[in-house]
């Protein structure tokens, strides 16, 4: 149990801070400053209470076990209970309020440069494939806007879309009427594992298998259509490079929209109306 707990603790820590350990380092420094220069009230609010919450929840194997009963992600989201960034803001504000303006200026410049360099976010703007130049007033990728408009215009209001990760990241920001089979937190959504026969071969319908196929360079269209009764999607978005025309014809999919990057398909009414 302890080994599993340690692994869960490391995973949750990594997920919350996204591997940028500069921020927990700053939290520790700010707590030390508060212990050294803060008042009794500041020490209680900015040090003692957060540390107690951290110890009772995230450092507690019993809490980890109980959190897992509710949902897989409950333990990792418990990091939201700890006011890390409030501690940083209040501690620094308290500390620098007692300094003269020149020292404050120097410290802020050093801290800002450290955040930019150590945090690594500036470089990510150039290498992150999800960074884009907005072409519309929504500040979203234009493909997302066009796909959403096409699906809304085609549907009767009941939408459950299967799409690649880069579409799922934005689609509900544009229109919350569009339901998704899965989204950014893949582990939150699942369906019961089922077995079926595809081309004479026994296969499993699993959530992991579906998401992996959806984001491959070449997707297994037949698998995704076979899993449709379990995932209950009625629209599917594919990159133009993910499929061949004959696969679509054989699978009973109809095109409702296509641009230079993506194609949107709807499952034939004869299949959907059967209750699958």
Residue 2, pLDDT > 60, answer yes
| pLDDT top residue among 95 and 42 | 42
Element (H, E) at 262: strand 262-267
Q: Where are the domains of the chain?
A: 2-97, 142-272
Bridge-based pairing state of the strands 179-180 and 194-198: unpaired
Residue 43, pLDDT > 70, answer yes
pTM of this prediction?
A: 0.55
Residue 224: count other Cβ atoms within 10 Å of its Cβ: 22
Residue 110, pLDDT > 70, answer yes
Q: Which residues of 92-102 are buried (b: 16+ CB within 10 A; e: fewer)?
A: bebbbeeeeee
Q: How sure is the predictor about 126, in pLDDT bands with cuts at 50, 70 and 90?
A: low
Q: How sure is the predictor about 124, in pLDDT bands with cuts at 50, 70 and 90?
A: low
Residue 42, pLDDT > 70, answer yes
Residue 123, pLDDT > 50, answer yes
Residues 48-105 pLDDT 10s: 999 999 999 999 999 999 988 887 778 988 998 899 888 988 988 887 777 788 877 8
User: What pLDDT does 125 receive?
Assistant: 54
Residues 154-195 pLDDT 10s: 988 889 999 998 898 899 889 989 998 887 555 445 566 777
User: What pLDDT does 269 receive?
Assistant: 52
Residue range 241-263: average pLDDT?
A: 86
Pick the closest to residue 222 from 243, 239, 194, 193 (CA basis): 243
| pLDDT top residue among 35 and 119 | 35
Residue 139: count other Cβ atoms within 10 Å of its Cβ: 11
DSSP structural state of residue 133? -
């Amino acid at each position: 149990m302890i080994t599993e707990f340690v692994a869960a603790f490391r995973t949750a820590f990594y997920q919350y801070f996204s591997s940028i350990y500069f921020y927990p380092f700053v939290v520790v420094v700010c707590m030390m400053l508060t212990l050294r220069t803060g008042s009794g009230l500041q020490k209680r609010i900015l040090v003692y209470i957060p540390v107690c919450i951290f110890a009772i929840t995230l450092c507690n194997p019993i809490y980890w076990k109980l959190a897992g009963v509710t949902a897989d992600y409950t333990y990792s989201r418990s990091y939201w209970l700890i006011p890390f960034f409030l501690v940083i803001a209040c501690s620094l504000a308290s500390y620098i309020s007692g300094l003269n303006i020149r020292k404050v200026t120097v410290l802020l410049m050093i801290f800002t440069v450290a955040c930019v360099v150590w945090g690594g976010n500036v470089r990510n703007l150039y290498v992150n494939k999800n960074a884009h130049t907005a072409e519309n007033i929504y500040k979203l990728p234009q493909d997302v806007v066009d796909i959403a408009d096409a699906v809304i215009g085609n549907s009767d209001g009941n939408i459950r879309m299967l799409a690649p990760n880069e579409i799922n990241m934005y689609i509900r920001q544009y229109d919350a009427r569009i339901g998704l089979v899965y989204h950014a937190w893949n582990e939150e959504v699942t369906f019961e594992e089922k077995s079926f026969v595809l081309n004479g071969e026994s296969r499993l319908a699993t959530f992991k298998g579906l998401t992996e196929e959806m984001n491959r360079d070449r997707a297994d269209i037949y698998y995704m259509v076979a899993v449709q009764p379990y995932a209950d999607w009625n629209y599917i978005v594919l990159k133009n490079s993910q499929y061949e025309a004959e696969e679509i014809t054989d699978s009973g999919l109809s095109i409702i929209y296509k641009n230079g990057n993506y194609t949107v398909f709807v499952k034939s009414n004869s299949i959907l109306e059967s209750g699958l």
